[in-house]
């Protein structure tokens, strides 16, 4: 997957998890939780969806690396590039 | 502590049924003989008849709350919001800690557990795919707890597991908590999400008690000779209960007054009903209300469309009312909506409450050929005008493991 495809995949997962609305307009450099109504339980859902849809395991120690959209993409790129 | 002789009144009703999402819609369906049962497809068992509710869950919840919560939670939230709005009550700092939520359930957790097991089956049963919401979804207080979270209610909440007697049990709990002075407002009744898991259907099928008919709307037919069993339905109905003094103080609309209630146990069998104990439960409720059998004007029967259950409830009714100078009108709601399980008691009584104002009693549904063993005086096949005479309604709700609940309400008169 390209960076753009990874971004689309993440946005799709988050949109399904958000209480309402669409996250496609978020600032990719700012923390997702500062821009969106996401709580820690939602974050676990994002991790679960990555596991289910793409077989990717995100260890708890790496959760901070999923803070912004861009950091998500950078973290996931090596894990998703061959998908 | 409040005085035990405080009067308790119903000041709000919120409901969802397969044939209506408000008391007005539900009542119109009952008076116009509109039943609503459809075919749904469930994994493992395939196509079954079911009563499905089509309320708008997003009216009171956001997308995330619907996704992370349970169906019974959504049903409860819808009914509680509608009931409190109907009662003209808003949850605020003035009343949030004095409001209690008491919800009867037939079962809880089957739907979520089965969904999760199916989910991990798609991943070779690897439990790392098990959802972290499983525990809050399946705790036995879930439906009532979701209401408190949704509405910011900080008084007590819990659910009462009482099989298909649960709706009445929820109301009885609310009445008792008001009488004890534990709360000033009780949101009480019953809900069911049971159509969302195959196990309930499969168990009834194995028992030879699952209904089938080429026309789903004719599948639920209590008292009919050609009945084939139970139609499982989802649904919910919650009442707002208050002490009369509080209701009057705020000028509340009063639907009806609680006259009496009773619960007991057969103590005999897992599944087979016991007409002696059912009769005793009705008699106990009548005594609790300070009445005689002659005073009861209408009985909403529990009958579910199983041969044994229908016949034995008729036997119990004959024991209670057979010796009195007049037999009450007898009706039944399950022919219209199937068996709404934990919601059945409250929902079915709610459908009869408007009789106090429109003076009509709705009939049974789908009795084309009355089972001779279910012949009772005043069993209603068509609506009747009751004039202004209808004063007391007795509501039967019985469940597995031999749990019986009876609630009697009366036309309110100050």
Domain ranges of chain A: 3-20+27-80
Record: contact B129-A48, CB cut-off 8 A: yes
B339 among known catalytic residues? yes
Q: Which candidate in B157, B339, B362, B374 is catalytic? A: B339
Record: contact A51-B133, CB cut-off 8 A: no
pLDDT in tens, B163-184: 999 999 999 999 999 999 999 9
Share of chain B above pLDDT 90, in %: 97
**Residue B62 to chain A, least CA–CA distance (Å):** 6
pTM for the full predicted model? 0.97
pLDDT at A21: 76
Q: In the predicted model, what is the mean pLDDT of residues B120-149? A: 98
pLDDT at A22: 82
pLDDT in tens, B284-330: 999 999 999 999 999 999 999 999 999 999 999 999 999 999 999 99
* B67 pLDDT more than 80: yes
What is the distance between the alpha carbons of residues B150 and B135, in angstroms, rounded to a whole number? 18
pLDDT at B162: 97
pLDDT at B6: 87
**Residues on chain A touching B131 (C-beta within 8 angstroms):** 48
Instruction: For chain A, say whether B130 makes contact (Cβ under 8 Å).
Output: no
Q: In the predicted model, what is the mean pLDDT of residues B235-251? A: 97
What is the distance between the alpha carbons of residues B16 and B79, in angstroms, rounded to a whole number? 7
Record: contact A19-B133, CB cut-off 8 A: no
Q: In the predicted model, what is the mean pLDDT of residues A23-32? A: 93
Nearest CA in chain A to B63: A19
Mean confidence (pLDDT) of chain A: 94
pLDDT at B357: 95
ipTM: 0.92
pLDDT at B387: 82
Q: Is residue B232 classed as helix, strand or coil in its secondary structure?
A: strand
Which domains does chain B possess? 9-249 (3.40.47.10), 260-410 (3.40.47.10)
Q: Which candidate in B302, B362, B364, B374 is catalytic? A: B302
Tell me the pLDDT band of B3, cut-offs 50, 70 and 90: low
Strand ranges of the sheet holding B232-233, from the earlier edge strand across to the other edge: B38-42, B46-51, B232-233
**Residues on chain B touching A52 (C-beta within 8 angstroms):** 123, 129
Pairing outcome for strands B232-233 and B46-51: parallel
Mean confidence (pLDDT) of chain B: 97
pLDDT at A19: 85
pLDDT at B5: 60
**Residues on chain B touching A19 (C-beta within 8 angstroms):** 62-65
Q: In the predicted model, what is the mean pLDDT of residues B63-75? A: 96
**Residues on chain A touching B128 (C-beta within 8 angstroms):** 51
pLDDT in tens, B332-347: 999 999 999 999 999 9
CA distances from B376 to B70, B90, B272, B351, B381 (A): 41, 45, 22, 21, 11
pLDDT at B1: 47
What is the distance between the alpha carbons of residues B251 and B229, in angstroms, rounded to a whole number? 45
pLDDT in tens, B358-380: 999 999 999 999 999 999 999 99
pLDDT at B176: 97
What is the distance between the alpha carbons of residues B29 and B53, in angstroms, rounded to a whole number? 14
Tell me the pLDDT band of B104, cut-offs 50, 70 and 90: very high
Instruction: For chain A, say whether B133 makes contact (Cβ under 8 Å).
Output: yes
Residue pairs between chains A and B whose CB atoms are closer than 8 Å: 23
Fold of domain A3-20+27-80: 1.10.1200
């Amino acid at each position: 997957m390209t960076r753009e495809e990874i971004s689309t995949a993440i946005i799709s997962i988050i949109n399904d998890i958000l209480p309402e609305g669409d996250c496609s307009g978020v600032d990719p450099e700012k923390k997702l939780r500062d821009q969106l109504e996401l709580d820690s339980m939602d974050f676990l859902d994002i991790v679960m969806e990555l596991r289910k849809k793409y077989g990717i395991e995100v260890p708890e120690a790496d959760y901070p690396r999923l803070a912004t959209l861009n950091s998500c993409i950078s973290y996931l790129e090596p894990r998703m590039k061959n998908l | 502590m409040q005085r035990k002789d405080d009067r308790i009144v119903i000041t709000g009703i919120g409901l969802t049924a397969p044939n209506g999402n408000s008391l007005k819609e539900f009542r119109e369906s009952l008076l116009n003989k509109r039943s609503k049962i459809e075919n749904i497809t469930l994994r493992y068992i395939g196509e079954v008849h079911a009563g499905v509710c089509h309320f708008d869950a997003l009216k009171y919840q956001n997308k995330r709350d619907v996704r992370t919560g349970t169906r019974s939670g959504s049903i409860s939230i819808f009914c509680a919001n509608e009931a409190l709005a109907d009662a003209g009550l808003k949850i605020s700092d003035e009343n949030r800690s004095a409001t209690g939520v008491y919800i009867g359930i037939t079962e809880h957790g089957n739907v979520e557990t089965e969904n999760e097991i199916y989910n991990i089956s798609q991943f070779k049963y690897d439990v790392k795919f098990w959802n972290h919401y499983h525990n809050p979804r399946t705790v036995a207080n879930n439906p009532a707890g979701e209401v408190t979270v949704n509405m910011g209610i900080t008084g007590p909440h819990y659910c009462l597991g009482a099989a298909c007697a649960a709706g009445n049990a929820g109301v009885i709990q609310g009445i008792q908590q008001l009488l004890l002075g534990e709360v000033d407002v009780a949101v009480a009744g019953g809900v069911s999400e049971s159509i969302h898991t195959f196990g309930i259907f499969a168990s009834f099928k194995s028992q030879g008690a699952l209904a089938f008919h080429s026309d789903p709307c004719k599948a639920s037919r209590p008292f009919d000779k050609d009945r084939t069993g139970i139609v499982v339905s989802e649904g919910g109905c919650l009442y707002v209960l208050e002490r009369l003094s509080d209701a009057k103080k705020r000028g509340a609309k009063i639907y009806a007054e609680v006259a009496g209630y009773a619960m007991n146990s057969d103590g005999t069998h897992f599944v087979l009903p016991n007409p002696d104990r059912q009769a005793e439960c009705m008699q106990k409720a009548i005594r609790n209300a300070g009445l005689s059998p002659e005073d009861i004007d209408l009985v909403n029967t529990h009958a579910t469309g199983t041969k044994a259950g229908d016949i034995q409830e008729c036997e119990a009714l004959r024991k209670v009312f057979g010796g009195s100078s007049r037999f009450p009108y007898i009706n039944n709601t399950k022919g219209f909506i199937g068996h709404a399980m934990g919601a059945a008691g409250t929902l079915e009584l709610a459908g009869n409450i408007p009789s106090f104002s429109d003076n009509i009693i709705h009939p049974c549904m789908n009795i084309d050929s009355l089972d001779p063993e279910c012949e009772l005086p005043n069993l209603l096949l068509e609506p009747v005008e009751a004039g202004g005479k209808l004063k007391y309604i007795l509501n039967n709700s019985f469940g597995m493991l031999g749990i019986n609940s009876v609630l009697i309400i009366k036309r309110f008169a100050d």
